[in-house]
Structure 1
Amino acid sequence: MSGFNVQGLTKRFGATTVVDDLDLSVEDGEFVVLLGPSGCGKTTTLRCLAGLERPEAGHISFGDRTVFDSGKHVDVSTHKRNIGMVFQSYALWPHLTVRKNIGYPLKVRGRKDALKGGAVERAAEMVDTQMLLDRYPAQLSGGQQQRVAVARGLVAEPDLVLFDEPLSNLDARLRDQVRTQIHQLHQRLGFSAVFVTHDQSEAFALGDRLAIMKAGRLEQLDTPQRVFDEPGSEYVAAFIGMGNRLELTRGEAGWTTASGEVVDLGGRTPERGAGDRVVARLRKQDLHLVRSAEQAPAHHVVLGATLVTKEFGGRHYDVLVDVAGQQLSLEADTREHGAWLRDAAEGAPVQVGFAPSDVRLFAPDLDERPQTGLAVAGTAGSTGGTGTTGGLRAVTTGV
């Protein structure tokens, strides 16, 4: 295979455009993560790749083979696209044993040789479920069911494996375990994959590249490190963890907050051109409580604030402060600040500091608010939740 390409993909539900002229490429053996909030079009894109949704326009090719072309009226059915799919809802047949669930894609493809040759057992062993082969899904935990679903997605050695938020139904501990297992399987087997999630930690851990989506389009496509270090827009910055937003205005003394405090950014300028207003974005880990400006490291910005609330978190407090009418969050080390912060009252004056190098600056006319979701009636999977119907449809076509 020479990779997978999507060109001009457009999908509408009624008058609502969910995927909007999307271009995306996946190199052979690459793990690409579609990242974004509910309603941004990531699951619908995945379902178009799988053949579970028919786009209005566009071209999809797997290597040199075209599987969809709106202009040439090509639309290869799901079971002929040689894909594997892992669903959020597991989508296991309740009346079939684990062995038969894993082997279903081989059965649909007529791969009797693989069924007899131990392919099911090898797939189960890859995800540590070989001891469960004769059980039924109802006899398994959620984590076990999802591992079975992963084995089913890989058993036929597909050209492309599609993951539709497969970890979202698991508790935190199991989510980390299954995520690590998927990462190890990809490293070992080298399959090509597209993985849908709204969780930035999953995206950073798994992706060779991240495709951050907004309103059906790609907002940024790059490696996890580049996305983390250089978010392409305020929207991306907000979504990948830079939740603190501070508006600044240029005056005679330089950049100032709404209350008039000067913010020396060390000559830093917005990634995109701005006039006399700019938005500074910071991660909570980059913002620190300081007892006085003198105690802050050299060249750090220190701003006056008031305490809004604090929550004990063991070795740190989760703290919310108000700076010039804008609420910012941070973590305060218990060993350093616990003695006085424990008894501090709401509204108490505090100070916060940060290094200018940790700030990312954007023009304020960028839309920094993530999408809250597109209400599309009757479209299972279009907003990130596949549902049983969509899942079983995929299983019956052999993915």
Structure 2
Amino acid sequence: MSRIRVTNLTKRFGSSTIVDDLELTIEEGEFVVLLGPSGCGKTTTLRCLAGLETPEGGTISFADKVVHDAERRVSVPTHKRNIGMIFQSYALWPHMTVRDNIAYPLKVRRQKDALRTGAVEKAAGMVDCEQLLDRYPSQLSGGQQQRVAVARGLVSEPDLVLFDEPLSNLDARLRDQVRTQIHQLHQRLGFSAVFVTHDQSEAFALGDRLAIMKSGRLEQVDTPQQVFDEPSSDYVAQFIGMANRLDLTRHQDGWKASNGDVVHLGDRTPERGSTDTVVARLRRDDLRLHRPDDRVAPGTTVLHGTLVTTEFGGRHHDVLVDVDGQKLTLQADTREHGGWLPKAEGGHPVVVSFRSSDVRVFDAEGRAVRGASVVTPIRATGSATS
């Protein structure tokens, strides 16, 4: 199986455009994660790949086979696209045993040789479900049902495996277990996959590439490391965990927060004359908490604020700090701050520090600023390719 190509894909529901002129290429054996909030178009894109929705525009090709072409009115039905699909709701037939549920795609495709040579048992073994083959779905836990759904999605050795938020209904422990199992299966089998999620931790753990969506378009398509290190827009930065926002204004003596503290941007400093206002983004683990009289490492930015609230989290405290109306969240080490922090009341003066290398800077239009250059997000052109 070679690459899967999506070109100018457009899907509307009534007057609303849900997928807007989207382009994406999935290489053979690649695991691509569609990441974004509810309503961004990621599940609709997945359903278009599966043939469960009919796009009004664009083409979808699996290798050299066109499975959808809106202009030529080509639309290959789902059961002829050779895909496997794993749903959020498991979607197991309640009246069938695990064995029959896993075998269902083979029977639909009339793959009698696969049934005869033990494909069902092999698929069940890949997800540690051999001992469950004669049970019914009602006799299984949520984690077991999802593993059976994964086995069913893989049993026919499809060209493309589609995952529609398959971990959302599991508790935290099972979610981690099944996620690891999916990752191991992909490493071992090398199938092509598209995985839909709103959870950044799932996306970073599973994806060879992340395709981050906003309002039906792709905002950034990159490796997890690149997305983590260099988000292309303020939207991406916020979505992947850089929740701390500082609005900065240029002054003669540097870039300042609204309380007058100078913020050091390092090599992210916009060139003079390019803009007078920017947004700085930081993750909560980029920030360090101090009391007003504590010594702070030289060369770091220091912001003066007040404590809003603190919550015990074991080895850390989750802390909310107010800096002239802008709220910053961080984790404070219990060993370092456990003596005074639990006793501190709201309004207690505190200091927050961070390194300039941890800051990501965005202009008024939300574009990433990297020194003299400005990164244009994919959405500005309306498409993305690998």
TM-score bracket relative to the smaller structure = over 0.9
Cα distance in 2 between the residues matched to 1:264 and 1:165 = 40
**Structure 1 match to 2:287:** 287
User: Distance in 2 between the 1:294 and 1:356 partners?
Assistant: 20
CA shift digits 1:153-198 (9 cap, x unpaired): 0000000000000000000000000000000000000000000000
Name the structure 1 match of 2:62.
62
Q: Does 1:22 align with 2:36?
A: no
Whether the aligned pair in 1 keeps the contact of 2:291 and 2:349 (CA below 8 Å) is no
1:122 & 1:291 partners in 2: Cα distance? 60
Which secondary structure does the structure 1 equivalent of 2:6 belong to?
A: strand
What is the CA–CA distance in structure 2 between the aligned matches of 1:359 and 1:255, rounded to whole Å? 13
Q: What CA distance in whole angstroms lies between the structure 2 residues aligned with 1:296 and 1:161?
A: 51
Q: Does 1:220 align with 2:208?
A: no
Number of corresponding residues: 367
* 8 Å CA contact retained: 2:34, 2:210: yes
- Distance in 2 separating the partners of 1:173 and 1:121: 26
Give the Cα–Cα distance (whole angstroms) in 2 for the partners of residues 29 and 58 of structure 1: 23
Q: 1:246 to 1:68 in 2, by over 3 A?
A: same
Structure 1 letter corresponding to 2:78: T
CA contact (8 A) 2:162 2:195 kept: yes
The equivalent residue for 2:244 is: 244
- Structure-1 separation of matches of 2:26 and 2:356: 36
CA distance in 1: counterparts of 2:212 and 2:21, whole angstroms = 15
User: Does the C-alpha gap of structure 1 residues 101 and 327 become closer, same or farther in structure 2, counting only changes over 3 Å?
Assistant: same
Q: How far, CA to CA, are the matches of 2:274 and 2:320 in structure 1?
A: 28
Within-5 A mapping of 1:264-275:
264-270=264-270, 275=275
Aligned to 1:372: none
What residue in structure 1 maps to residue 116 of structure 2? 116
Q: Which amino acid aligns with 1:286?
A: D
Q: C-alpha distance in 1, partners of 2:342/2:203?
A: 35
RMSD of aligned alpha carbons: 1.4
Match of 1:48 in 2: 48
**CA–CA distance in structure 2, aligned partners of residues 135 and 328 of structure 1:** 51
Structure 2 SS opposite 1:5: strand
Encode CA deviations 1:15-60: one digit per residue, 9 max, x unaligned.
Answer: 1100000001100000000000000000000000000000000000
2:327 is aligned to 327
Give, in angstroms, the shift of residue 71 of structure 1. Answer: 1.0
Q: Offset at 1:264?
A: 2.5
Give the Cα separation in 1 of the matches to 2:267 and 2:198: 34
Specify the code of the residue in structure 2 equivalent to 1:347. G
Shift of 1:2: 1.6
1:270 deviates by 5.0
2:36 maps to amino acid:
G
In the alignment, the residues of structure 2 paired with residue 351 and residue 285 of structure 1 have an alpha-carbon distance, to the nearest angstrom, of 15
Partners of 1:49 and 1:274 in 2: how far apart? 42
Distance 2:298 2:238 in 1: 27
Instruction: Spell out, residue by residue over 1:112-139, the C-alpha distance to the aligned partner (whole angstroms, 9 max, x if none).
Output: 1111111000000000000000000000
> Is the partner of 2:320 in helix, strand or coil?
strand
Q: Secondary structure at the match of 1:332?
A: strand
The alignment's TM-score, normalised by the length of structure 1, stands at 0.90
Does the aligned pair in 2 maintain the 1:274–1:363 contact within 8 Å? no
Once the two structures are TM-superposed, the CA of residue 295 in structure 1 deviates from its matched residue by 2.0
Q: Does 2:200 match 1:200? A: yes
Equivalent-residue separation in structure 2 for 1:293 and 1:172 (angstroms) = 40
Which residue matches 2:92? 92
| Other-structure match for 1:366 | 366
Q: Distance in 2 between matches of 1:246 and 1:351?
A: 15
Q: Following superposition of structure 1 onto structure 2, how do residues 129-278 of structure 1 map, counting pairs within 5 Å?
A: 129-270=129-270, 275-278=275-278
Kept after mapping to 1: 8 A contact 2:261/2:302: no
Counterpart amino acid of 2:252?
E
2:321, 2:66 → 1: CA distance? 54
